[in-house]
Chain A
Amino acid sequence: MSEFTINFEPLGLRGKCKNNESLLECARRSGVGINSICGGTGACHACRVQVLSGTVSRPSTVEYKVFTSKELKEGWRLACQTYPISDCKITVPADSMTTSQRLQVEGLEKKVSPELPFQVYHVKIAPPSLETPVADADRLIQALNNQHRLRCTSVDIDTLRDIPGQLRSWNWESQVVVRNKEVVTILYQKSRQLGLAIDLGTTKIAAYLIDMNSGQTLAARGIMNPQINYGEDIISRINKVIKSSEAAVVMQRLTLDAINELSADLCAAAGARPEEILETVVVGNTAMHHLFLRLPVKQLAFSPFVPAVSLALEVRARDLGLNIAPGAYVYLMPNIAGFVGADHVSMLLATDAWKAKETTIALDIGTNTEVSLIYGGKITTTSCASGPAFEGGHIKHGMRAAAGAIERLRIDGDKVQYQTINGGPPVGICGSGILDALAQLYQANIIDNSGRIIDSHPRVRVHKGQREFVLVSEEERNGKPAITITQHDVRELQLAKAAIRTGIQILLDISLCSEDDIKQVIIAGAFGSYINIDSAVAIGMMPSLPLNRFQQVGNAAGMGARLALISTRSRAKAQAIASRVKYVELASSPEFNKVFVQANYLGPYQITNK
């Protein structure tokens, strides 16, 4: 019995394929998550893969319908219809990967050449003697001047405390880290030079440990923001701070503890120590930025919504309580205005959207959604309160993207086909599934364009005085409560969808730009990376544009933080972006109500002249 080795890219996973086993089955056994809504019958076309090398079975009739002859020539196939006949190399595109797998390859990778905010010098100094009893730090500074023509004017106090002991134990040889003419840290000559990039989100904190010289990510991890106990959204957290100044201290402490813990974990994974982290960059929305620095937030929440500071900041890590190298700094990217903060600047930086020549919409979908329109060399930006519906919040059977969540869904006549994260039995529905559900219900005419569930489908029923559509029935769940989309859920989703669409539309309107003029739409953020663009366009959340104009770029804010970490040129760009952006307060636009009402309808956005 023959057995072939299958190489799955870009995951780099290998699997053994048995005789008469499809690529899909082989992928499943090998731990490669490929989408399959129909269960491998060739009906859903979700398991598209590209065969890069090797011989496989001829395309099936289904595949001749799904792919053009050009695509078939390029090796595009449905994994469930393809049987290897030799060792093969397969590419699984992001669209075909299940959510848990996509987390690992998330984020666009970008290269910049490092231009560090500090310099590192190798210095060897002579031991002191009775003839030259010159102080240790003074000899170090003299050596920097003599050996590297560098005039340092100060030494960080904590570093100063370490210098005599360290120089002696290192036999007078060390790496000296100098930042703005100050000796911030000295390192053992073999120490690595590391940096930490933090995307401080309202819900999640993502951290990246970076080799400052190569720009390479050594380790990355994401955790929930522990401030969540003080409220899910920024307004409730700000409210807590206004009520009690103690809450501000506690919330800052929680975030710092979490970041310290993250950095310790990342260092452990990379075989390093937090003291080797010579610089940290933090990006977040304005509220997260202010809470992290314990800046006043009250004025941020009241009209006209002004931050305490928008300029980029450099703060000594020690002053914040961040455990990295003594004397090292935290760089905070500039904010824009209102709640649109450094994370949006970071996203515009990482995606190059800010200098796009073609008309571009760039947005980061979350509890708060920030949108920018780049048109005719100008950048306008707004923030919309899209709420937690797309993260499963306020939805009866909603849940976060975790095992058992329905993440893809299709309505086919009386049947509902779905796919769950990790493939187990369904327990609820997460953001991308919720979006699919809304689009599918609308396209199947089970809800009308006003969002009303119409009582015409066998799966529509009335439960506790409210219409609902049954995704998975009690019988299908062996007696457990049914998983449904209720009329109320549809309303929550309409509000979320309308908020996002209103943001896009108001920016288009004030710039006198039409939908068709948009040449590219860049969607960042975790949720935005997993959604079906088809569904988002179908319900009118996204402009009605050809799908090839959309790009899903993953955590671009985290990417921008990494760029700013190693490149002072990127920092200068960030400041330039922040000062170029024109901020629009959505609710103060005279057209807001009209556009918002219109955006509540499902389907393509209709311009009204009323």
Chain B
Amino acid sequence: MNKDLVSTIADLNEQEALKIVKDRLSAGEDPLKIMEDARKGLEIVGERFASSEYFIPDLVYSGEIMKLITELVKPQLTREEETRKSGKIVFGTVRGDIHDIGKNIVTFMLDVNGFEVIDLGVDVPEQKFVDKIKESGASIVGLSGFLTLAFDSMKQTIRAIEDAGLRDSVKVMIGGGQISEEIRKYTGADAYGKDAMAGVTLAKKWTGVN
């Protein structure tokens, strides 16, 4: 039965998935367990996306299914359970760049995998990243940029984090467009992810979540 929810979500079967959730809730099952299965289903969606089997619209659709499931399960969760997240991540598209489709995919996948994502949007100035890191106490920063020119903004953002004395308290990942190991070195980031799943893997590694 548990496997059913995982696979129906993985197969993007909205009606079936919602029915299973309702049945399991009325059977009095632990809501956290249901959410965990839903996350597993979305993880498979993410894997299928990474292998080109699924595409952007599929991912967006899976997000909509997840939203509906959350709405069903949420009333059953205690406040503490609801906010139990694996770690805080400040994320944004760097200054000068306004592309956010890639960034939205990563933040979605991170959210699904239990991270609390603070999304600063696009064309984000260096200082805004610094302020948000201070304010939230996030331990991970994600810098996104599609334009090759965004690499300079990434470098400047990381320098600003360093100047604010925060560099040692955060891990920085970069992604988007044609990022490589050379560019990671150039910007001074800790790591780069070539797709959304790579970003999730990094975040899990850094926070010690399995």
Residue A55 at the chain B interface, CB threshold 8 Å: no
B148 touches A235 (CB 8 A): yes
Interface majority SS (helix, strand, loop, mixed), chain A: helix
Interface majority SS (helix, strand, loop, mixed), chain B: loop
Residue B75 at the chain A interface, CB threshold 8 Å: no
A299 vs chain B, min Cβ distance (A): 10
A238 partner, pick from B53, B55, B149, beta carbons under 8 A: B149
B50 vs chain A, min Cβ distance (A): 11
Which of chain A's residues 241-255 have a Cβ closer than 8 Å to chain B? Answer: 242
A164 vs chain B, min Cβ distance (A): 53
Q: Choose the segment among A87-95, A210-218, A366-374, A597-605 that binds chain B (4+ C-beta atoms closer than 8 Å).
A: A597-605
A239 touches B54 (CB 8 A): no
B55 touches A491 (CB 8 A): yes
B149 vs chain A, min Cβ distance (A): 5
Residue B111 at the chain A interface, CB threshold 8 Å: no
B101 partner, pick from A450, A494, A593, A601, beta carbons under 8 A: A593
Residue B119 at the chain A interface, CB threshold 8 Å: no
Encode A480-509 as 1/0 by CB contact (under 8 A) with B. Answer: 000000111011001000000000000000
B55 touches A236 (CB 8 A): no
Take A303-B97, A487-B52, A587-B98 as given contacts and tell me if A597 and B148 are in contact as well, using a CB distance cutoff of 8 Å.
no
Which of chain A's residues 58-75 have a Cβ closer than 8 Å to chain B? Answer: none
A residues within 8 A CB of B152? 242
Residue B126 at the chain A interface, CB threshold 8 Å: no
B56 touches A597 (CB 8 A): yes
A residues within 8 A CB of B188? none
Residue B209 at the chain A interface, CB threshold 8 Å: no
* A601 to B147 Cα, complex, angstroms: 25
Encode B48-85 as 1/0 by CB contact (under 8 A) with A. Answer: 00011111111010000000000000000000000000
How many contacting A-B pairs (Cβ < 8 A)? 62
A593 partner, pick from B55, B96, B100, beta carbons under 8 A: B100
Residue A320 at the chain B interface, CB threshold 8 Å: no
B residues within 8 A CB of A587? 98-100, 122
B residues within 8 A CB of A486? 52
A465 touches B51 (CB 8 A): yes
A301 partner, pick from B58, B95, B123, B149, beta carbons under 8 A: B149
Take A236-B148, A303-B97, A596-B101 as given contacts and tell me if A466 and B51 are in contact as well, using a CB distance cutoff of 8 Å.
yes
B residues within 8 A CB of A452? 53-55, 58
A242 touches B149 (CB 8 A): yes
* A238 to B147 Cα, complex, angstroms: 11
* A452 to B45 Cα, complex, angstroms: 13
A488 partner, pick from B52, B54, B96, B148, beta carbons under 8 A: B52
B residues within 8 A CB of A450? 54-55, 57-58
A396 vs chain B, min Cβ distance (A): 12
B57 touches A235 (CB 8 A): no
A235-B149, A466-B51 given; 4 more Cβ-contact pairs under 8 Å? A239-B149, A242-B149, A303-B98, A452-B55
In the A-B complex, the 7 residue pairs with the smallest Cβ-Cβ separation, listed nearest first, are A302-B96, A239-B148, A487-B52, A587-B98, A488-B52, A301-B149, A600-B57
